[in-house]
Amino acid sequence: MKHTNRQTRIRTLTDLYRALDRRHAVTITYLDRHGDESVRTIELHDLHTTADGDITLVAMCRLRGEERNFLLSAVTAYTVHRMAYVLDRPEPTVYERPTPAPTCDFTALVHFELERDRDDADYRPRRRLDQTDTDLAA
């Protein structure tokens, strides 16, 4: 077990990147957001730098079985194992931006709204409406 306060941050990052490259599991001891010490075995997938300059470990947690983020500054000790990864990382979600509405042509805007209405089931009424529907009156 290597204690992060007894070695440089560069040495810690080197060990973690090596584990990531070789796909070896890592057991970390860290302080959670409540200040309690916790031990987890993780499978690293990425390391990110936050806006504050801290480093986030993106990994699959073997205890939870899901992707978790751990701050490197909260890690107090770690052990790199020779165990291979066993968890499958979920595919990242892709945000699809909606097609922007045209702003220069009135006809194009009308056609855009009609197409959007056809594609979006939330805009359509759930049943056919006619003039005899009195339950819709305010």
- Mean of the per-residue pLDDT values of the chain: 82
Convert the pLDDT of each residue in 52-109 to its tens digit: 889 999 999 999 888 999 999 999 999 999 988 888 877 766 666 666 666 677 777 7
Domains of the chain (ranges; CATH) run 2-84 (2.30.30.520)
Q: Is the pLDDT of residue 137 over 70?
A: no
Phi first, then psi: give them for residue 37, nearest 5 degrees. -80, 135
Q: Is the pLDDT of residue 131 over 70?
A: no
End-to-end CA distance of the chain: 70
Contacts of 38 (CB under 8 A, 6+ apart): 29, 30, 31, 32
Strand partners, 68: 59
Phi first, then psi: give them for residue 73, nearest 5 degrees. -65, -20
């890690």: which residue's tokens? Answer: 75
Helix (H, G, I), strand (E, B) or coil at 60: strand
